[in-house]
Chain A
């Protein structure tokens, strides 16, 4: 596709359940980022992939959060034992590479609500 695609757009889950959020980056972009945006706040960095490997996962809040990008394209953010505090919009971004002047393009986000 022309832009970064995220699915689903909205996800409502019960506390304690497992969820997967998908990101389809722009074709050819090697760098992929996940951010979390709470209501009324700016996005906060979670994890960065360069190709298939997680080059920086310092933003993941705890071990309930995990992300993969097995073929260097599509990425999945996985959240175990969800908590109400996990409710937020999860944004994915991709860029041509992770360096220099390359612009990061964001998807529309997945709004996760934990009830």
Chain B
């Protein structure tokens, strides 16, 4: 059962453009929504995260938009750079039981052309 659906699977953007990646979730118990960036041969690294009590969070060129009623959230990368080329994963978790394991989307491979 895929609890977090991510799109698109791949994305090509020109340098300076805006990259937008979307995710939708099903489990209303999720209360933490991070985005991870992964380069080839490396583990995922936390980029930015949001909680459902806010609709938007911005850190530098990265912004998360969150729509609780639609159960959707998205990552916007402004002024995209070639160094942003990587695979991006949305994720979600809930503070259930004693663990906060992450449920990941299937990933978006972003390519930023110079």
Contact = CB atoms under 8 A, between A and B. Distances in A.
| Dominant secondary structure at the B interface | loop
A48 B46 contact: no
B45 A106 contact: yes
Given A91-B44, A106-B44, A43 B100 contact: no
B107 A40 contact: yes
Size band of the interface chain A makes with B:
20 to 34
B36 to A, nearest CB: 8
Interface in A74-115: 91, 93, 95, 98-100, 102-109
A106 B46 CA distance: 9
Most chain B CB atoms below 10 A, which of A31, A40, A104: A104
Interface of A: 4, 31, 33, 35, 40-45, 48, 50, 55-56, 59, 91, 93, 95, 98-100, 102-109
